[in-house]
């Protein structure tokens, strides 16, 4: 069963969008490398002074292997957003609750 990985940072969501607009090849390179490591889905989200990354991976180790290889390429995105402190990833497994709705349930 796959896992959801979340990272939440204090930072400027517009900084992430600016970096992405100015560096599309770098962004594509990161996601292409993530695909090679097995990422199933990936999104950035922004709120009031917060940035959240939500990924789905086959397992925790797949994400950790990807990040070990690509952390230095990901750092400029965080710098562009003014992120000063790293966040530890959280991993989530789907609970079987018999009330699934949406997302192809």
Q: Are the C-beta atoms of 71 and 9 separated by less than 8 Å?
A: no
Determine the average pLDDT of the residues in 39-43.
97
Over the stretch 81-100, which tens digit does the pLDDT of each residue have? 998 877 899 999 999 999 99
In the chain, domain spans: 3-93
Determine the average pLDDT of the residues in 34-57.
97
End-to-end CA, the chain:
15
Question: Spelled out in words, what is the top-level CATH class assigned to the domain 3-93?
Answer: alpha beta
Q: Record the pTM.
A: 0.89
Using the predicted structure, report yes or no on whether residue 1 has a pLDDT greater than 90: no
The arrangement of strands across the sheet holding 41-47 comes to 41-47, 50-57, 3-10, 90-93
**What confidence score (pLDDT) does residue 87 get?**
82
Q: Are the C-beta atoms of 6 and 90 separated by less than 8 Å?
A: yes
């Amino acid at each position: 069963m796959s896992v959801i990985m979340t990272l939440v940072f204090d930072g400027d969501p517009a900084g992430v969008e600016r970096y992405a607009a100015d560096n599309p090849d770098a962004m594509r390179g990161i996601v292409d490398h993530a695909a090679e490591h097995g990422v199933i889905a990936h999104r950035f989200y922004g709120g009031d002074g917060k940035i959240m990354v939500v990924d789905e991976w086959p397992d925790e180790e797949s994400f950790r292997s990807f990040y070990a290889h690509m952390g230095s390429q990901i750092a400029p995105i965080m710098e562009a957003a003014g992120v000063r402190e790293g966040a530890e990833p959280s991993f989530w497994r789907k609970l079987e609750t018999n009330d699934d709705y949406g997302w192809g349930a």
